[in-house]
A = this chain, B = another copy of it.
Amino acid sequence: MNITDLKTVLDPQAIGEDLHRFATTLYPICRSITGDGFRETLRQIEQFIPLKRYEVPTGTQVFDWTVPREWNIRDAYVKNSKGERVIDFKQHNLHVVNYSVPVHETMSLEALKPHLFSLPEHPDWIPYRTSYYKDTWGFCLTHQQLLDLPEDQYEVCIDSTLDAGNLTYGEYYLPGEVEDEVLVSCHACHPSLANDNLSGIAIAVYLAKALSEVARRYSYRFIFIPATIGSITWLSQNEDQVHRIKHGLVLSCLGDPGKSTYKKSRQGNAEVDRAVTHVLSHSEQDHNIIDFLPYGYDERQFCSPGFNLPVGCFMRSPNSKFPEYHTSADNLDFIQSECLADSFVKCLGVLSVLEHNKIYVNQNPKCEPQLGKRGLYRSIGGSSGTGLNELALLWTLNLSDGQHSLLDIAERSGFKFDVIKQVADALIETHLLKESAN
């Protein structure tokens, strides 16, 4: 079985439910760019696929950056003078500004307020805030909560630690026929946020599991890393290996009901860019292809000028373009089984194109071969019965001159890649096509 066959045996409804279930398992964990929440996330992933874990010590220089101290948190709250928890980390881990330094003080509302963050335009949502590189502390709360806080003396407690430790990440490597790699990267550092990016983690894990069971041309590398510092660390530690990456996808925000969005790599016309564009164009669904811009997820690092890797970012609603982004409303209700399944199937479609996008050479390049004598052409009054599309056959023969890949042929002819692949297989079988030696 190869990756194309996978698509045919797949039950989208079941996979959608599986993906949502896995996101549900991961949701409560309080992740950050370092610490035990990240490790617990990797442990959950390991229920599905074996990971190689890496621990990179605090203080390690990674290009222009330094691996920060490890952050862990046990509890956090703001209590009023009656001892009631008016803000409680145990109720929602977004309540604490991620990477807050420890604090335990009593203070007036006025003194507390500069440390409180809310969203006036969405008074029932808790924002998500971080402060990785500046020592401070804070709480996030709904705007309604904020408005309801009376003048009082508040006991403020963040029971966190920021100590020398490690930055943790996990890798799953699947060897293929060739050492050339497809990289699938997703950040796994966001706490209870479902679309950004439990959806990406879940899909990456299920893709990895599915790929492990089929024949592969490419080798595949799945990495589960903290955002930004994680990809910088990974690139720093794998600088001599990245030349193997021929195609890459950052997976993110893949469960919301918005249309599929693909952000191209910096190269702009890399094979992965064309493969995703092809799959989305033939999806018969509205979609959005956007040019690279140096803002977004870890493609920023993979596409920095010193690497310029062919890595794009596959999403539904893009980061910061949906109101729920980085708020408590990006929860398990916001992501839908069908949307997760649809994203998963499109990812498989893209990988299927990449796996099979080879260049073939027409062995009978002078004039058309006589397809009829090979059973590839209709005879009088009927069709060939082969189920092959004859025009696709002719296109594939015509363009297989050693210069055009199957994706080139699909693009120029307007046929779906799968149709071109199918006729190419028939032509290979009848010795009319042969894989190019180049």
| Chain A interfacial positions (CB closer than 8 Å to B) | 62-65, 97, 117, 129-131, 133-134, 136, 138, 228, 231-232, 235-236, 239, 266, 293-295, 300-301, 303-308, 362, 364-370, 372-373, 379-381, 391, 394-395, 397-401, 413
Contacts and interface: CB of A to CB of B under 8 A. Distances in A.
Nearest to A268: B412
A65 B304 contact: no
Nearest to A432: B64
A64 B231 contact: no
A113 to B, nearest CB: 12
Contacts of A130: 380
Contacts of A63: 364, 366-367, 369
A231 B399 CA distance: 19
Given A129-B380, A379-B134, A368 B293 contact: no
A372 B133 contact: yes
A306 B300 CA distance: 44
A366 B398 contact: no
B301 A134 contact: no
Contacts of A373: 133
B235 A294 contact: no
Given A117-B381, A379-B133, A398-B266, A305 B138 contact: no
A233 B398 CA distance: 18
The A interface, classified by DSSP as helix, strand, loop or mixed, is: loop
Contact of A366 (B235, B266, B300, B391): B235
A294 B409 CA distance: 12
Nearest to A266: B398
A46 to B, nearest CB: 28
A43 to B, nearest CB: 28
B305 A398 contact: yes
Given A380-B97, A391-B293, A369 B64 contact: yes
Contact of A300 (B136, B368, B400): B368
A129 B413 contact: no
Given A131-B379, A379-B131, A381-B129, A368 B301 contact: yes
21 contacts: A63-B369, A64-B364, A64-B369, A64-B370, A97-B380, A130-B380, A133-B379, A134-B372, A134-B380, A138-B381, A228-B368, A231-B367, A235-B367, A300-B394, A301-B367, A303-B398, A305-B362, A305-B397, A306-B367, A307-B367, A308-B401
Nearest to A99: B380
Contacts of A231: 367
Nearest to A235: B367
B305 A232 contact: no
A431 to B, nearest CB: 11
Contact of A294 (B131, B266, B370, B394): B394
A307 to B, nearest CB: 6
